[in-house]
Amino acid sequence: MSPSIRRVLPECIILAVAAIVSAAGLLAPVERQLDDMRTRALTGGSPSDVVIVAIDAQSLKDLNRWPWSRQVHAALLERLDAAAPSAVFFDIDFSVPSGDPDADAALAAALSRTRDYPVILPAFWQNVSAGRQVSRVLTEPLPALTANAGVGLVSIFPGPDGLVRDAVHRDRFGSRAYRSIAAALAGRQDLESGVAYPIDFRISPDSFEYVSYSEVLSGQVADRAFHGKTVMVGATAVELGDNVPVPVHRAIPGVTLQATIYETLVRGMPSPLAWPATIGTTGLLVLCWSLIRHRSWRVQVGFAAVTVVALANLSLYLHGAHDLLLPTATPLLSVVLCLFCGIVLSANRQTLSALLAAIRLKRQESLITGVFSASIDGIVVIDADGRICETNPAAAELFGGTGTSLQARPLRHFIPGLKLRRDAAGSVRAQRLELRATTPDGPCPVEVSVSPANDDPRGLVTVIVRDVRERHRQQAVLRHQATHDPLTRLPNRTLLNRLLDRLPQGAGRAALFMLDLDGFKSVNDTLGHATGDEVLRILGKRLRESLPEDVRMFRIGGDEFAVLVARHASHDELLRIARQVLERVREPVTAADTSLELGGSIGIALYPAHAKNGVELLKCADVAMYTAKSRRSGVEFYDAETDNNTLRNLQMTSALRVALENEQLSVVYQPKVRLRDGMCCGVETLVRWTDPELGPVSPDEFVPLAEGTELINPLTRFTLSRAIKDHTRWCARGIDVTLAVNLSARHLTDATFATEILRSLHNHGLNPGTLELEITETALMDEPERARKVLSRLTDRGVRLAIDDFGTGFSSLAYLKHLNLNTLKIDRCYIQDLPGSGNDRKIVESTLSMAHSLDLEVVAEGVERPEQAALLNELGCDIGQGYGFAKPMPADDFVSWFQARAPRRPALRTVSG
Ligand code: C2E
Ligand code: CA
Ligand code: CA
């Protein structure tokens, strides 16, 4: 925008707004009001030649009835005629016959007798509706009357504000033209047709002389009163309802209005100044303003005031002295616009920003008020003495009062623990603390934040009170979740650790039980985890209920539970509790429509006898539990000595697991020699393990460990597969001997085991009759029926079966008969003292005869010396195995060994070490 345009921009905007507003007619009501104000100021009662013969209340009373007979009007006319007026107007409707032809005739006759002056009768427009259409018809006096009288239009029409402001002096109806009453009375012909001329309401209704109709009729009014005057006869009595709303004078009788219109016409009508005058005035004002618009706001206000006064005076003067109507609404609007623009322009940036800041402050204030009342935290303002000045609705609700009822009460009454801390200067210090509030619902935990109001001379303090009941509840739930097992709802390891940590140092006595379920793994494996969970839930509940009140039960992992007796209890009492727990464990559990029987092992550790702290106590109870498990004794107290072994065992178990995963184990083979001819007829596979840290570990040590865990499965799988592979290689070199592998009791309860072995044999194309499984008596007697089933699947397919370590366990011959055995291995302990021990010899002899009667081959184990071999051969023993023939050796060594001795006679070498 060019600078010159920008310079005059405010003026242009003002003029444009003023033009648009007034062109849209929005200023018309203002203009009318201003006009009326001026008119009112100029109203005066200057004398007029109009005399109104008023049909007033007195006349109605005197003449008794209404409407009067037209004879009355005839009489009045005659009376007026005598006074020689200059004109007469009857504002009475003579358009229809009165019903009294004589009276009508009398009036017509009276009219015909009048001389030299006009008598005017009214004609008026009436709306006539025909169907939906409304048309205007002209109602004229009876022709008999108009024959000797003039006719004038009395119709007047109110403006948009309902007031009559102007009059039409000339109108047409069909081919005929009609003048208004005023024009007819004044004898004016020059007025334009259809144009509304303003009525001059400066002429007061008091300007006219009023005489009562009845008084005129009765001759009480002298002729002089009418001589040369314009006489208007019409109703002024309110009861006749002929009142017209007009500006300035409110409502005036129709006849008075006609008189006013007439007087306006006679005196000279005010003429409205045309548009150019408005534009000129407005333009001039804006021009003047443009000269001072850069001045201060005071100058602007002064300019506006002067302009308004000048404009008012000018318009008054023009109206009063020259009958000119100057429109002032548009110029006044432009003054207002100028003032507004002037102030805005003159206000400097600082003033404006101060104004904006004030608005912002107001907003901020209402925002703070909003936050205060909407806050869900209680907000309390207290004075320096701690008395409540103000509370928000949340605080009032918390304390059970209302804003006013709480006022001036000490806040400590509601929050007893609240103490305001003050610094050296005595001002309250900010603080945040958790306290208890007194509420109608009882004590309630609250978080209280105290903060002094900054720079407040009264030392007011804001206290925010937050109800933390819900938060505490949530925290309690979380705490419970963190310290309890969701499945059994028992406290968990976290809580147990916490309680153990709090055991009184050294002094108090306590006992911790560790319970591990036996057989739970197979429940999980065979019936699924959902059933496993159900079993744990039932057991958890059952055990908790069976324990004394002061003894707590925990679930600390899979199928491991702990029991804490946090008081002194005698050895016997602890044992009794433990046995009671085991009894409840052994009671059948029904889950998934199956009745299950479980067992358990409990280890008990005492505090502080066995351990000085919680961590150690847990470990001790664990060790004791493992002892109970391996001894199958049910309950064991911790024993430091066993623990040393146990520790090593734990270490060994995890090392074995790693070794098995990485196939760090190996196998060796110990030959079995047919005593008769010294031929090698088979080998026994023996596993070997050398741990990097533990060194070489004996199978006597790690095999039982593996049997105690699930590690026995991979161990057997490993031995078997190595043995089969080696045997395949031997066969390729023409060595076909029986291959014996040791089995553990665990496998005999596992139905899948047989399948696995048969598949392995099939995969390597090994004849099942080549494989011999060595099983101890004890293993067979664990679950005889189940073992028989598993083994029969194998023996049915031709796999051989040997009883290992015979004589060390207890087995029933009757049972052994059912097993399809092939071999019986007499344990080393019966061999080692041969040939010296007569007793052992007897045992060996009877075993040999019993075995042979059952068609079993007999192997003597641990044959170390030649004389042993000789004796055994003599007694009829079939096979010998022992260091005397060969120590266990790797697969390749066995090949050399076998080939070296193949065709020779049995030769025993004496073994040293
Ligand atoms: P076992 O089945 O009775 O195996 C024979 C054990 O006696 C072997 O000990 C063997 O080295 C040893 N032995 C052989 N001849 C003599 C001898 O003349 N004098 C003496 N003093 N000992 C002799 P090893 O290899 O230490 O095995 C010990 C036990 O470990 C085995 O007893 C067996 O019960 C178990 N075992 C070894 N390997 C395996 C295996 O692969 N699987 C399973 N389940 N158990 C195994
Ligand atoms: Ca064996
Ligand atoms: Ca053996």
Atom of ligand 1 nearest to the CA of 698: 26
Q: Does 388 contact ligand 1 (Cβ within 6 A)?
A: no
Q: Does 772 contact ligand 1 (Cβ within 6 A)?
A: no
Q: Read off the pLDDT of residues 821-846 as tens digits, 9 standing for 90 and up.
A: 999 999 999 999 989 888 899 999 99
Write the DSSP string, 263-276: HHHHH---EE--HH
Q: How far is the CA of 715 from the centre of ligand 3 (A)?
A: 18
On the 0-12 / 13-18 / 19+ scale of CB atoms within 10 A, 714 is middle
Backbone angles phi, psi at 639, to 5 degrees: -135, 120
Q: How far is the CA of 861 from the centre of ligand 3 (A)?
A: 6
Q: Does 683 contact ligand 1 (Cβ within 6 A)?
A: no
* Residue bearing the CA closest to ligand 1, atom 32: 700
pLDDT of residue 813: 65
Atom of ligand 1 nearest to the CA of 911: 18
* Residue bearing the CA closest to ligand 1, atom 22: 862
Q: How far is the CA of 814 from the centre of ligand 1 (A)?
A: 27
Q: How far is the CA of 804 from the centre of ligand 2 (A)?
A: 6
Q: How far is the CA of 871 from the centre of ligand 1 (A)?
A: 23
pLDDT of 156 higher than 90: no
Atom of ligand 1 nearest to the CA of 863: 18
Q: Does 643 contact ligand 1 (Cβ within 6 A)?
A: no
The best mutation among 666, 697, 742, 743 to test binding of ligand 1, ranked by most ligand atoms within 8 Å of the C-beta, falls on 742
* Residue bearing the CA closest to ligand 1, atom 3: 805
- Of residues 349 and 376, more confidently modeled: 376
pLDDT of 249 higher than 60: yes
Q: Does 714 contact ligand 1 (Cβ within 6 A)?
A: no
State how far the Cα of 442 lies from the Cα of 423, in Å rounded to an integer.
Answer: 33
Confidence of residue 906 (pLDDT cuts 50, 70, 90): very low
pLDDT of residue 506: 60
Averaged pLDDT for residues 9-25: 89
Q: How far is the CA of 825 from the centre of ligand 3 (A)?
A: 7
pLDDT of residue 594: 82
**Ligand (nearest to CA of 806):** 3
Residue whose C-alpha is closest to residue 173's, from 123, 128, 131 = 123
Secondary structure (3-state) at 204: coil
Q: Read off the pLDDT of residues 692-735 as tens digits, 9 standing for 90 and up.
A: 888 999 998 899 889 877 899 999 999 999 999 999 999 999 89
* Residue bearing the CA closest to ligand 1, atom 14: 882
Averaged pLDDT for residues 145-170: 88
pLDDT of residue 657: 92
Confidence of residue 682 (pLDDT cuts 50, 70, 90): very high
To 5 degrees, how large is the angle CA 726–CA 727–CA 733?
95
* Residue bearing the CA closest to ligand 1, atom 17: 862
- Of residues 642 and 25, more confidently modeled: 25
Q: How far is the CA of 807 from the centre of ligand 1 (A)?
A: 16
The best mutation among 686, 697, 718, 750 to test binding of ligand 1, ranked by most ligand atoms within 8 Å of the C-beta, falls on 686
If you average pLDDT over every residue of the chain, what do you get? 88
Q: Read off the pLDDT of residues 461-474 as tens digits, 9 standing for 90 and up.
A: 999 999 999 999 99
Q: Which residues make up the environment of ion ligand 3, defined by Cβ < 5 Å?
A: 804-805, 861
State how far the Cα of 899 lies from the Cα of 911, in Å rounded to an integer.
Answer: 21
Atom of ligand 1 nearest to the CA of 883: 18
Q: How far is the CA of 794 from the centre of ligand 2 (A)?
A: 18
Q: Does 205 contact ligand 1 (Cβ within 6 A)?
A: no
Q: Read off the pLDDT of residues 489-499 as tens digits, 9 standing for 90 and up.
A: 999 999 998 88
Q: How far is the CA of 826 from the centre of ligand 3 (A)?
A: 8
Atom of ligand 1 nearest to the CA of 744: 44
Q: Read off the pLDDT of residues 812-823 as tens digits, 9 standing for 90 and up.
A: 666 777 888 999
pLDDT of 905 higher than 60: no
Q: How far is the CA of 608 from the centre of ligand 2 (A)?
A: 45
Q: How far is the CA of 686 from the centre of ligand 1 (A)?
A: 6
* Residue bearing the CA closest to ligand 1, atom 38: 686
**Ligand (nearest to CA of 911):** 1
Q: Read off the pLDDT of residues 350-388 as tens digits, 9 standing for 90 and up.
A: 677 788 888 888 988 888 888 888 888 999 999 888 899
Q: Which residues make up the environment of ion ligand 2, defined by Cβ < 5 Å?
A: 742, 774, 804
Q: Report the range of poorest mean pLDDT among 171-180, 228-237, 393-402, 610-619.
A: 171-180
State how far the Cα of 573 lies from the Cα of 535, in Å rounded to an integer.
Answer: 28
Write the DSSP string, 818-886: TTT--EEEE-GGGTTTTTT-HHHHHHHHHHHHHHHHTT-EEEE----SHHHHHHHHHHT--EE-STTT-
Atom of ligand 1 nearest to the CA of 827: 3
Q: Read off the pLDDT of residues 567-591 as tens digits, 9 standing for 90 and up.
A: 888 889 999 999 999 999 999 988 8
pLDDT of 333 higher than 70: yes
Confidence of residue 349 (pLDDT cuts 50, 70, 90): low
* Residue bearing the CA closest to ligand 1, atom 21: 862
Q: Does 888 contact ligand 1 (Cβ within 6 A)?
A: yes
Atom of ligand 1 nearest to the CA of 888: 11
Residues 69, 71, 74, 75, CA torsion sign: negative
**Range with top average pLDDT, 37-41, 478-482, 884-888:** 884-888
**Ligand (nearest to CA of 825):** 3
- Asked if omega into 784 is within 30° of 0 (cis), the reply is no
Confidence of residue 43 (pLDDT cuts 50, 70, 90): confident
pLDDT of 869 higher than 90: yes
Q: How far is the CA of 878 from the centre of ligand 1 (A)?
A: 20
Number of H helices and number of E strands within the chain? 32, 36
To 5 degrees, how large is the angle CA 897–CA 902–CA 903?
155
State how far the Cα of 888 lies from the Cα of 899, in Å rounded to an integer.
Answer: 16
Tokens of 627: 């002892």
pLDDT of residue 743: 92
Q: Read off the pLDDT of residues 747-797 as tens digits, 9 standing for 90 and up.
A: 887 878 889 899 999 998 899 999 999 998 878 776 778 888 889 999 999
Q: How far is the CA of 837 from the centre of ligand 2 (A)?
A: 24
* Residue bearing the CA closest to ligand 1, atom 25: 686
Averaged pLDDT for residues 593-602: 87
Residue whose C-alpha is closest to residue 671's, from 906, 841, 910 = 906
**Ligand (nearest to CA of 884):** 1
pLDDT of 910 higher than 50: no
Averaged pLDDT for residues 477-504: 89
pLDDT of residue 348: 63
Q: How far is the CA of 646 from the centre of ligand 2 (A)?
A: 25
